[in-house]
A and B are shown apart, each in its own frame.
Chain A
């Protein structure tokens, strides 16, 4: 993938001694809610740890690798919401913001792209928290109008004849894209395959990596 740019407002605030207005505001809110007994501070730590270390796009990558390796699993994954949700649950993933999953398969004829123009609905159990670009006005405005332009921002150029289907996640169904399996991967294990599956490819904003290019 091309080099990553960072907008100015994405400054890192790693130095905790310099607290900005949002740090103070969230800290104040946390203090009041804790004092009132509405929240358990220990639960906050578990929530943060869960989404930083346990629930992320490597989950989805394992689902994709299994689908590439196992035609029966693939068929169940693509059949319908109930079947996809239970196939994903077999690998241990499900629950909040992935209660009802639909998986759509990219083919040479049709490329799928997922967006939530209304807020930022995203399949948390398989992909984790949405990245900043998925939540951005730029993505949410352009994905439904000019998906090829958005893909160009990710360095992806689809063949001219490929149709593009955009899924706007307006209800509680959550979408994941099954990317095209790269050529030259026939002899790879599921673990090796999973390393080729990027987060962006499971949103449809990228392609799976070619063998030999995985980090």
Chain B
């Protein structure tokens, strides 16, 4: 599938069809009572180790009607999908709102007392590199043009474009493999910067845009 983002939709320049951005005061975190519950239940289930963050993003972003769903609605729909796919919860239980089948074992259960240390630890993605980096700072590279047939993190607007390696970040867990259950498969990660005009025909002068791209997304410029 081509990995489309909102930025790939709509016309050029500011004409994206989603209207203007609506600023909000700093204290306004949630807009309905269920939203903090959705956040917490998603984080707590993530902590069980039943899937990784890339699988979780993959489940959300390939939901039918993804773009029409609200943000935490995506989280909950994605969570229900992961739970069903792994047999942790069955569809009839979601409909009934109660347990109808035996629980399956999970690797961990996040206890209240452990929350601060689990959040403080996070999940760093840098891994020891086992190969030399293929690209160096300042090098011109071209991003992969062909669409990926799986979860990926190269946005559509940056496919098949020429940019410059600006930073080399070491080897990191490769989202494309990790999301598919193929292990961490660490790959070198680069910040690649593009001239705005390389991405958008009518880009304003002085615009540059960067993405963080794993090595398999990149090739040399002939």
Contact = CB atoms under 8 A, between A and B. Distances in A.
Interface stretch (A18-26, A67-75, A176-184, A186-194): A18-26
A24 B7 CA distance: 33
Contacts of B209: 144, 165-166, 168
Interface string B88-104: 11000110111100010
Given A28-B94, A48-B40, A145-B203, A4 B120 contact: no
A167 B43 CA distance: 26
A146 B20 CA distance: 11
A141 B24 contact: no
B221 interface: no
A32 to B, nearest CB: 5
A143 B17 CA distance: 13
Given A32-B94, A95-B122, A163-B206, A46 B115 contact: yes
B115 A5 contact: no
Contacts of B32: 11-13, 20, 22-23
A60 to B, nearest CB: 11
Closest 8 CB pairs of A and B: A28-B97, A171-B212, A42-B112, A146-B14, A36-B103, A141-B16, A141-B6, A163-B206
A96 B215 CA distance: 24
B34 A22 contact: yes
Given A100-B125, A129-B39, A163-B207, A47 B44 contact: yes
Contacts of A166: 207-210
Contact of A29 (B22, B41, B118, B169): B41
Given A27-B37, A50-B116, A171-B212, A142 B71 contact: no
Nearest to B41: A30
Given A1-B23, A38-B88, 11 more contacts: A26-B41, A30-B41, A38-B45, A95-B121, A96-B119, A120-B71, A146-B16, A150-B21, A163-B208, A166-B209, A172-B125
Most chain B C-beta atoms within 10 Å of own C-beta, residue among A16, A132, A138:
A132
A25 B38 CA distance: 10
24 contacts: A22-B32, A28-B96, A29-B76, A33-B41, A36-B99, A37-B103, A37-B109, A39-B45, A43-B44, A46-B115, A47-B40, A47-B44, A48-B36, A95-B119, A132-B28, A133-B22, A138-B20, A141-B17, A153-B21, A155-B23, A165-B209, A170-B154, A170-B212, A171-B214
Contacts of A96: 118-123
The number of chain A residues touching the other chain, given as a range, is 35 or more
Contact of A168 (B29, B111, B155, B204): B155
Contacts, number: 303
A83 interface: no
B150 to A, nearest CB: 14
B70 interface: yes
Given A147-B207, A164-B207, A171-B175, A129 B70 contact: no
Interface in A144-161: 144-150, 153-155, 161
Contacts of A132: 22, 24, 28, 31, 71
B149 interface: no
A109 B93 CA distance: 57
